[in-house]
C-alpha cells in the first residue's frame, strides 16, 4: 500500500476516539462496507477486520492499526488519531461480541447463506436489537423494526423502503409480489424483522402471514426476532411458520466474565466492578442495556471531572442521572397477582429503605384491560381406553362475550383432534366424540375454554370453575 507524505504525518497518538470508532464513523458516513475495507488491507480477512472494529481482536494490534490508520488517512486526507499505547481508552467497545451477540450473528449468517428461517427471542435489554443492527450493516441485508401501530400496508411499505423499491399504489398482494420478484432477481438477501411479537395478536396474524408468504416464495433468508412471547405466538397461531424454522436462539444475557470484557477499556475499582456485574447479570432487574446506559453516564461524569477510575460513588451518580432523565421501568407481576386484579387502573408503590433508614418512594400507574379468557388442562387426563362422550358444566357469566368450549379424546397426540362442544355445554348435554384414532401410546382427555369479550361491552365476563365427566 502506498502512503502519501500527508497521510504518514497524520498518524498521531492521543486520548480521543479510538481508531476503531473513527473507522466505524467513516464507514457509516461513506456507506463503505467492511468487505470493501478488508479487501484493501493486505494480509487481513473480513472477519479479522470485523473483530478489530468490534474491539475483540487479540493479535498484534500495532500492525493492524498502522495499516488501518494509513487506509483511513488516505481516504479522508485528515489526521488519524490513535490512542496512546498501553493506556485505557475510557470508552465502550463499538460492538461487543458476547456469547449472545455471536449467536445472533450466527443465526443471521446461516439464514442468509442457506436461505433459512431463523427465530431470535430475548428479554428486553439483552442486546438482541444491538446485534441485529450490527449484522444489518453487511451487504444485502434489510432490517425492519416493527411497532404496535403497524398495519399490513405499513409493514409492506417498510420492507419496500429497506430494499430501495419505490412504494407501490396497488393492492397488498400486488406489492408483496413485487417484493418477491426483487428477492428472486437479487439473490443472497437476508430480511430481518425485529420486534416481530408486536405484529401478532389473538385477533390477527395477517402481518406474519405476509412474511411467511414472502419467505415461502422467494430466494431470501428470513430472521424474525422479538421478546420471549414471540415463540409462544408462533406455536399457537402460526403453525405453518413454526414448522419451517431452521435456526433458533434464545439469549441468556451477559455473564460476569463478559462484563469484565466489556469494561476492558476502563479502570474500575473492585467494588465498582461488583456493582456493574450486578447491574448486568441480575436475572430479575439486570441486563446489557442497563449496563450500557450506566456506563454512558459514567463516561460523561469521568470526562467532565477529568478522572479515569470508575468507583461505586460515580456509578451511583450515574444512576441518579438516569432517574433524572427518565427511565423506563419494567416490573413483572406474578401470574397469581395479575389474575386477581380487576380490569381498570391500578398503582404500584415501591418504597426503598437504605441502611440509615432513609426512604425513597416511587409510584407507577398502570392499567389492566383483559378481553380474553383462555385456558386448558396443564396435563391431560389419561384414560384406559378411548373416551366416547363427555359432559362439561361450567359456572360462568358470559353475557356480552363469545364463548367456545373444546374437548379431545387423544390429548397426548402431537396434534390432538379438538372438537367443538360449545352447543352441548350451553344446554347441559353430553357430547359424543367423533374422533376414533390416536398416534400417541395412550388415550387422554383434555378440555379448553376461550371466552372473548365483545368490543364495547363493559360488564363482567368471568368463569369461576367447571365440573364434568367422561366415559
Pairwise pLDDT comparison (150 vs 169), residue with the higher score: 150
Beta strands in 54-173 (DSSP E): 80-83, 117-121, 141-145
pLDDT digits (tens, 9 = 90+) for 288-314: 888 888 888 888 888 888 888 899 898
- Write down the pLDDT at residue 131: 93
3 state DSSP class of 330: coil
Q: Which residue has the higher pLDDT, 458 or 189?
A: 189
Residues 6+ apart with CB under 8 A from 84: 13, 14, 15
| Confidence at residue 365, expressed as pLDDT on a 0 to 100 scale | 75
Alpha helix (H) residue ranges in 326-368: 335-340
Q: To the nearest whole percent, how much of the chain has pLDDT over 90?
A: 35
Residue 8 confidence (pLDDT): 32
Cβ atoms of 400 and 461 within 8 Å: the answer is: yes
For residues 459 and 456, give the distance between their C-alpha atoms in angstroms, rounded to a whole number: 9
- pLDDT in the model for residue 3: 28
Q: Supply the pLDDT for residue 211.
A: 92
3-class SS of residue 349? strand
Separation of alpha carbons 199 and 150, rounded Å: 7
Q: What dotted CATH number matches 256-325?
A: 1.10.8.60
Cα separation, 134 vs 465, whole angstroms: 50
List the beta strands (DSSP E) in 196-278.
220-226, 247-250, 267-268
Instruction: Assign 462 a pLDDT band (cuts: 50, 70, 90).
Output: confident
Is 108 in contact with 118 (CB distance < 8 Å)? yes
Joined grid coordinates for residue 460:
363482567
pLDDT of res. 28: 86
User: How confident is the model at residue 83, as a pLDDT?
Assistant: 57
- Residue-wise pLDDT for 28-76, tens only, equals 888 888 888 988 988 888 878 888 887 767 666 778 888 888 899 888 8
Q: Which grid cell is 204? A: 390477527
Kindly report which listed range (50-64, 81-95, 419-433) carries the lowest average pLDDT score. Answer: 81-95
Mean of pLDDT values over 235-239: 76
- pLDDT tens for 383-407 read 999 999 999 999 998 998 999 999 9
DSSP state of 146: -
Asked which of 33-37, 106-110, 232-236, 276-280 is least confident by mean pLDDT, the reply is 232-236
275 SS3 class = helix
Residue 287's H or E segment, with its range, is none
Confidence at residue 238, expressed as pLDDT on a 0 to 100 scale: 76
Contact of 276 with 254, CB cutoff 8 Å: no
Bridge partners of 248? Answer: 119
Q: How far out from the chain centre does Cα 86 lie? A: 37
Single out the residue of 287, 22, 3 nearest to residue 130, CA to CA.
287
Q: What is the pLDDT of residue 56?
A: 67
| Phi-psi region at 354: left, alpha or beta (left = phi > 0; alpha = psi -120 to 50) | beta
Domain ranges of the chain: 5-83, 99-250, 256-325, 335-368, 372-470
Q: In 277-410, which ranges are E strands?
A: 309-310, 344-353, 359-368, 372-376, 381-383, 389-397, 401-408
Instruction: List pLDDT tens digits, range 159-213.
Output: 999 999 887 678 889 999 999 999 999 999 999 999 999 888 766 788 888 999 9
Distance CA 281, CA 112 (A): 31
Nearest CA to 461 out of 371, 377, 374 is that of 371
Cell of 434: 367423533
pLDDT of residue 356 exceeding 50, the answer is: no
Q: Check residue 241 and give its pLDDT.
A: 81
Per residue in 364-383, pLDDT tens? 777 778 889 999 998 999 99
3-state secondary structure of 154: helix
Round the average pLDDT of the chain to a whole number and report it.
Answer: 83
**Could you confirm whether domain 99-250 is CATH 3.40.50.300?**
yes
| 370 or 82, higher pLDDT | 370
Lowest pLDDT segment from 31-35, 233-237, 279-283, 354-358: 354-358
Q: Is it the case that residue 214 has pLDDT exceeding 80?
A: yes
The length of the chain, given as a count of residues: 471
What is residue 358's predicted lDDT score, i.e. its pLDDT?
A: 47
Amino acid at each position: 500500500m502506498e502512503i502519501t507524505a500527508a497521510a504518514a504525518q497524520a498518524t498521531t497518538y492521543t486520548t480521543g476516539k479510538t481508531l476503531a470508532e473513527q473507522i466505524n464513523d467513516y464507514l457509516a458516513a461513506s456507506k463503505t462496507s467492511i468487505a470493501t475495507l478488508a479487501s484493501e488491507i493486505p494480509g487481513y480477512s473480513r472477519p479479522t477486520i470485523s473483530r478489530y472494529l468490534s474491539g475483540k481482536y487479540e493479535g498484534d494490534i500495532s500492525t493492524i492499526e498502522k495499516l488501518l490508520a494509513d487506509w483511513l488517512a488516505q481516504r479522508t486526507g485528515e489526521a488519524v488519531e490513535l490512542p496512546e499505547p498501553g493506556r485505557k481508552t475510557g470508552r465502550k467497545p463499538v460492538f461487543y461480541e458476547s456469547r449472545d451477540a455471536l449467536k445472533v450473528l450466527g443465526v443471521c449468517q446461516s439464514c442468509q447463506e442457506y436461505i433459512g428461517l431463523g427465530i431470535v427471542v430475548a428479554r428486553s435489554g439483552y442486546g438482541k436489537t444491538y446485534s441485529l443492527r450490527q449484522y444489518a450493516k453487511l451487504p444485502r441485508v434489510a432490517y425492519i423494526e416493527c411497532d404496535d401501530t403497524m398495519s399490513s400496508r405499513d409493514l409492506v411499505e417498510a420492507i419496500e423502503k429497506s430494499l430501495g423499491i419505490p412504494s407501490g399504489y396497488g393492492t397488498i398482494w400486488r406489492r408483496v409480489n413485487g417484493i418477491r420478484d426483487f428477492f428472486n432477481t437479487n439473490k443472497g438477501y437476508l430480511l430481518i424483522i425485529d420486534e416481530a411479537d408486536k405484529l401478532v395478536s389473538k385477533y390477527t396474524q395477517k402481518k406474519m402471514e405476509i412474511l411467511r408468504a414472502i419467505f415461502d416464495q422467494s430466494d431470501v433468508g428470513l430472521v424474525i426476532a422479538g421478546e420471549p412471547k414471540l415463540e409462544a405466538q408462533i406455536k399457537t397461531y402460526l403453525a405453518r411458520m413454526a414448522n419451517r424454522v431452521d435456526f433458533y436462539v434464545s439469549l441468556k444475557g451477559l455473564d460476569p466474565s463478559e462484563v469484565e470484557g466489556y469494561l476492558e477499556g476502563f479502570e474500575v475499582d473492585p467494588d465498582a466492578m461488583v456493582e456493574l456485574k450486578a447491574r448486568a447479570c441480575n436475572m430479575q432487574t439486570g441486563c446489557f442495556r442497563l449496563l450500557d446506559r450506566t456506563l454512558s453516564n459514567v463516561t460523561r461524569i469521568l470526562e467532565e471531572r477529568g478522572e479515569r477510575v470508575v468507583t461505586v460513588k460515580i456509578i451511583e451518580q450515574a444512576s441518579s442521572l438516569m432517574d433524572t432523565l427518565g427511565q423506563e421501568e419494567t416490573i413483572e407481576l406474578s401470574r397469581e397477582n395479575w389474575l386477581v386484579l380487576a380490569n381498570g387502573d391500578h398503582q404500584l408503590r415501591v418504597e426503598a429503605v437504605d441502611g440509615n433508614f432513609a426512604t425513597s418512594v416511587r409510584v407507577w400507574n398502570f392499567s389492566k384491560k383483559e378481553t380474553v379468557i383462555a385456558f386448558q388442562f396443564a396435563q391431560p387426563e389419561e384414560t384406559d381406553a378411548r373416551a366416547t362422550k363427555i359432559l362439561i358444566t361450567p359456572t360462568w357469566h358470559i353475557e356480552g362475550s363469545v364463548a367456545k368450549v373444546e374437548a379431545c379424546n387423544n390429548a397426548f397426540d402431537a396434534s390432538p383432534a379438538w372438537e367443538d362442544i360449545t352447543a352441548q355445554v350451553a344446554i347441559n348435554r353430553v357430547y359424543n366424540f367423533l374422533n376414533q384414532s390416536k398416534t400417541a401410546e395412550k388415550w387422554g382427555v383434555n378440555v379448553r375454554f376461550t371466552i372473548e369479550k365483545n368490543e364495547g361491552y363493559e360488564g363482567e365476563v368471568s368463569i369461576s370453575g367447571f365440573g364434568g365427566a367422561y366415559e
